[in-house]
Amino acid sequence: MAQKKHKVIVIGLPKTGTSTLAVMLRMLNYKVTGPNIDYAKGDNTLLNLLYEDYDGFQDYPWCFEWQKFLKDPKVKFIVLKREKESWYRSFYESYGGKEDRYLSYSFIEISKHPDNKQKFLNYFDNYYDNVSSYIENEPNRFIEVSVNSLEWPELCDFLDEDLPTNIFGKAITKPHINKNNVKTVKSFKYKVLNSIKKSITSIIGVDNWLKLVIFLRKNNII
């Protein structure tokens, strides 16, 4: 079961910095889930089970289903924003397959095709315009940030958390996840590390793997 005082739902389309924020939340000892590739739109049973078991929620499907949890006063929302042309390039090139073969298609419903660029940009604008209408009503439950500018003091103040430290009690640096992932995903180094990850997770499980990675990151070992 979740243990934190707050639950945190990340509002922000995929490729807006959700992976980096997920790691930051884990460094604050939040149990984070997403993207949840087994979720199918409308599967409220799975959605509610995950909601009960975790503290933090990011990427698919949470960035589309967050409004379902507005009535829970324990929830805080982090709105991740990014320059939309930059978002479009990253989303189009690296987020899943083309045409309708990407994970969020059931929500976005726009085929990945060069002719549909403006439709994606319009979707982006409408998505954040809708979020803004909720922020105006409950500003204390929302924070709008760019993952590039977000630093520990701002995040911890919003979540009522102490600044994270390593095993020696020293402040830890902010992680930068997937900064060059598009360039490295086909590299020999990436393939070797991914193979090691699969081997270890098959033995200790994904949750323990994540705990190990977070420990190593917090102590500047990786």
Instruction: Provide the Cα torsion 97, 103, 109, 114; round to 10°.
Output: -20
For residues 158 and 143, what is the distance between their CA atoms, to the nearest angstrom?
A: 8
* pLDDT tens digits, 126-136: 999 999 999 98
Mean pLDDT value across residues 164-171:
88
For residues 57 and 219, what is the distance between their CA atoms, to the nearest angstrom?
A: 24
- Report which of residues 94 and 49 the model is more confident about: 49
Task: For residue 82, give the DSSP letter.
Answer: -
pLDDT band at residue 157 under the 50/70/90 scheme: very high
Relative to beta strand 142-145, strand 75-80 is: parallel
pLDDT at 35 > cutoff 80 = yes
For residues 200 and 206, what is the distance between their CA atoms, to the nearest angstrom?
A: 9
The two tokens of residue 183 are: 């360039």
Q: For position 90, what pLDDT does the model report?
A: 94
DSSP string over 15-56: TSSHHHHHHHHHHTT--EE---TT--TT-HHHHHHHHHH-SE
CA distances from 62 to 41, 46, 96, 201, 207 (A): 11, 12, 17, 25, 19
CA distances from 21 to 51, 65, 198 (A): 18, 18, 23
Q: Which residue reads 């479009």 in tokens? A: 88
Q: What pTM value is reported for the model? A: 0.86
Q: For position 189, what pLDDT does the model report?
A: 66
**CA neighbor of 102 nearest in space, from 18, 111, 177, 23:** 111
Q: For position 119, what pLDDT does the model report?
A: 98
Q: For position 219, what pLDDT does the model report?
A: 77
Task: For residue 177, give the DSSP letter.
Answer: -
Relative to beta strand 56-57, strand 32-33 is: parallel
DSSP E strand boundaries for 89-148: 142-145
Q: For position 84, what pLDDT does the model report?
A: 96
* pLDDT tens digits, 50-106: 999 999 999 999 999 999 999 999 999 999 999 999 999 999 998 888 899 999 999
